[in-house]
């Protein structure tokens, strides 16, 4: 049996918390959220194909206050995963590996995802898409 007093992840206790750790964790978490949230999108597509009554039921669920919070969160997860994925593609091309660039691009991914989410929801709410 394993020794329970032995630390499982000593790197979490040794290293100082950095924004790069946050972006790594968020990228994984948003990937999971997107996979689960895709079921909601699938439900919407099936409801759309199922007729007006099925789609009305879907829109009433998604248009509820809780549904809008869930969709706002899913939109942010999509925007963050997109921004951070682009950051990874740039790094795969060999750019952005200096520490200052790495930190800057990490913050840009986080801030950019919030800006994109707010712009998308401003459009949705002003165009009557959530009504």
Please write the tens of the pLDDT for every residue from 90-123.
999 999 889 999 999 999 999 999 999 999 999 9
What would the pLDDT profile of 14-57 be if each residue is shown by its tens digit? 778 889 889 999 999 999 999 999 999 999 999 999 999 999 99
Answer whether residue 10 is part of any domain. no
27 known ligand binder: no
Distance CA 70, CA 96 (A): 33
Distance CA 104, CA 20 (A): 10
Answer whether residue 102 is part of any domain. yes
Answer whether residue 12 is part of any domain. no
According to DSSP H, which parts of the chain are helical? 10-14, 19-50, 52-62, 65-92, 99-126
For residue 90, with 0-12 CB atoms within 10 Å meaning exposed, 13-18 middle and 19 or more buried, which class applies? middle
Short-list 54, 65, 107, CA closest to 73: 65
Answer whether residue 7 is part of any domain. no
Tokens at residue 2, please? 């394993």
Residue 5 — very low, low, confident or very high, per pLDDT cuts 50/70/90? Answer: confident
Distance CA 40, CA 43 (A): 5
Answer whether residue 11 is part of any domain. no
Total count of domains within the chain: 1
Answer whether residue 122 is part of any domain. yes
Answer whether residue 58 is part of any domain. yes
Tokens at residue 111, please? 């801030």
Q: What is the largest CA-CA distance in the chain?
A: 61
Find the CATH number of the domain harbouring 106: 1.20.1300.10
Range of the domain at 72: 19-126
Model pLDDT, residue 11? 64
What would the pLDDT profile of 44-98 be if each residue is shown by its tens digit? 999 999 999 999 999 999 999 999 999 999 999 999 999 999 999 999 999 988 9
Answer whether residue 14 is part of any domain. no
């Amino acid at each position: 049996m394993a020794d329970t007093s032995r630390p499982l992840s000593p790197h979490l206790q040794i290293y100082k918390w950095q924004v790069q750790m946050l972006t790594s964790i968020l990228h994984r978490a948003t990937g999971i959220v997107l996979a689960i949230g895709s079921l909601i999108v699938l439900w919407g597509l099936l409801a759309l194909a199922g007729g007006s009554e099925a789609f009305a039921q879907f829109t009433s669920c998604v248009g509820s206050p809780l549904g809008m919070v869930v969709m706002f969160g899913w939109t942010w997860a999509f925007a963050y995963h997109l921004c951070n994925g682009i950051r990874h593609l740039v790094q795969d091309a060999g750019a952005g590996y200096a520490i200052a660039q790495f930190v800057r691009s990490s913050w840009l991914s986080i801030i950019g995802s919030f800006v994109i989410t707010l712009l998308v929801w401003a459009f949705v709410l002003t165009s009557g898409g959530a009504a």
